[in-house]
Amino acid sequence: MSRNDILNRLRRHGGSVMPLPRQPAVNRQDIETGNTEGFARQATANNIGVIRANSLDHASALIEEYLVKSGLNGSVVVAGCLQVFFGHSTRFETGTSNGQDQVCISMAYAGIEDTGTFITLSDSSNPTLLNFLAEVHFLVLPTQRIYHRKMDIWKLLALENRELPRALNFISGPSRTADIEQTLQLGAHGPKQLIGVLVSGT
C-alpha cells in the first residue's frame, strides 16, 4: 500500500519521530497592531483603491455614492454580515456570487500593514466567492483590526480561538497577471478593481 510504503521509506531514511515543540500560548500584548496610514500606503502600492469612513453606516453611504459616480449600475451582492448597513436599498442582494454580479462587498477579518493585505474568513455570512467573481470588489476593514505583520494574524487566530474556516483568504490587490510579455494587467480572472473601505471607530 502506497501510504505505508512512503511513510516507511521516510522513516528508514531518517525522519525523526521526536515530537515538534508546541507553539507557546499567545497573549494580547504579543500581537503588534499596525498603522492605518502605513496600511493605506502599502494597499495603494498594490493597486487597491482606499476609501475612509468613520462608521459602517458611513461606509455603506460612501460605497453607494461611489457606485453612482462610477456608473456601476449592475447587480450588487453584499455579505450577510454587512446586510444591516445596506438593507435600506433593494439593489443590494445578500448571499454569494453566481458569477454574473458586477459588484461584491465583503468583510475583512483583519489587515496586514506590512504587505497591504486584507484577510477574510469564509462562512455563510461572508462567502469566499464574493472576493473573486465580480468586476469590482469592496472589502470593508475596521482600522482597529489592522496588524503589523503576517505573524500577528496567526497569533490573533490563536488568541481568538478561531477554528479555520474552509477558506482563509489573504488578498493583496485586484486579480492580476503578467503572463504575456511580463506586462502587468489587472483583472485576470477575479476583480479588475479592489477598493478597501477603512472604517475607523468601533
Cβ 160 to another protein, closest distance in Å? 14
Q: How far is the CB of 66 from another protein (least distance, A)?
A: 22
Query: At which residue does the C-alpha cell 495603494 appear?
Result: 44
Nearer Cβ to another protein (164/202):
164
Which residues of this protein are in contact with another protein, per CB under 8 A? Answer: 1-3, 5-7, 9-11, 13-20, 23, 42, 46, 95-96, 99, 114-117, 122-124, 127-129, 131-133, 150-151, 154, 157, 164-183, 185, 187-191
Question: Of the two residues 127 and 142, which places its CB atom closer to another protein in the complex?
Answer: 127
CB of 46 to another protein, least distance (A): 8
Closest CB to another protein among residues 47, 55: 47
Q: Coil, helix or strand for 175? A: coil
d(CA 101, CA 98): 7
Q: Say how many residues make up the chain.
A: 202
User: What's the closest the beta carbon of residue 77 comes to another protein, in angstroms?
Assistant: 11
Q: Which of 62, 109, 57 is nearest to 83 (CA)?
A: 57
Give 18 or 69: the residue with its C-beta nearer to another protein: 18
Question: Residue 75, exposed/middle/buried by CB under 10 A (0-12, 13-18, 19+)?
Answer: middle
> Is the CB of 62 or the CB of 112 nearer to another protein?
112
The least CB distance from residue 72 to another protein, in Å, is 18
Residue 201 CB, nearest distance to another protein (Å)?
A: 28
Residue type, 75: S
Residue 62 or 136: which CB sits closer to another protein?
Answer: 136
Give the DSSP H or E segment for 18: none
Asked if 88 and 100 touch (Cβ cutoff 8 Å), the reply is no
Backbone angles phi, psi at 44, to 5 degrees: -60, -40
By three-state DSSP, how is residue 106 classified? strand
